[in-house]
Amino acid sequence: MITINGKSYSGRSVIINNDQVIVDGVLQTDGFGDVKEIKVDAKGFAGILVIEGNATIKGNIDGQVQTRGSLSCKNIFGDVSAGGSINCEDIDGDANAGGSVNCNCIGGEVKAGGSINRS
């Protein structure tokens, strides 16, 4: 289960593209309008999350996250790719960011267009 801007969805592959939410390849009928910041409550979501913009994730992601914007999150138990900066607690896999990466612990390789800061 994953909640995006107050609406809940179930699936292993979630794509957020503008006003569209696609879950396991199926376009969902309810979008969320002209929201600039995507807020995700993951509650242990397992799968692939693709976001076409900036995102704030509450909870952990057991899988991969890709975003064209910046990403703020707790823990990701997989790889992360962001067009902007990544700010999180821990990443078990690789981190690739167009901006800076600010995390406590990164289990894999880190590539950043900006600075890399580990606590």
Q: What's the mean pLDDT when you consider all of the chain?
A: 90
Between 15 and 33, the more confident residue is: 15
Residue 116 domain flag: no
Across 73-88, average pLDDT: 96
Looking at the chain, how many residues does it have? 119
In the prediction, which pLDDT does 90 show?
Answer: 96
Residue 104 domain flag: yes
Residue 115 domain flag: no
- What are the backbone angles phi and psi of residue 35, rounded to the nearest 5°? -85, 130
Residue 94 domain flag: yes
Residue 54 domain flag: yes
In the prediction, which pLDDT does 34 show?
Answer: 65
- AA letter at 114: G
Across 64-81, average pLDDT: 95
Domain encompassing residue 58:
2-28+37-110
Q: What is the pLDDT of residues 20-70, one digit of tens each?
A: 899 999 998 766 666 667 888 988 789 999 998 899 999 899 999 999 999
From the centroid of its chain, how far is CA 92?
A: 14
User: Number of structural domains, the chain?
Assistant: 1
Among 5, 62, 45, 56, CA closest to 28: 5
Residue 43 domain flag: yes
Residue 64 domain flag: yes
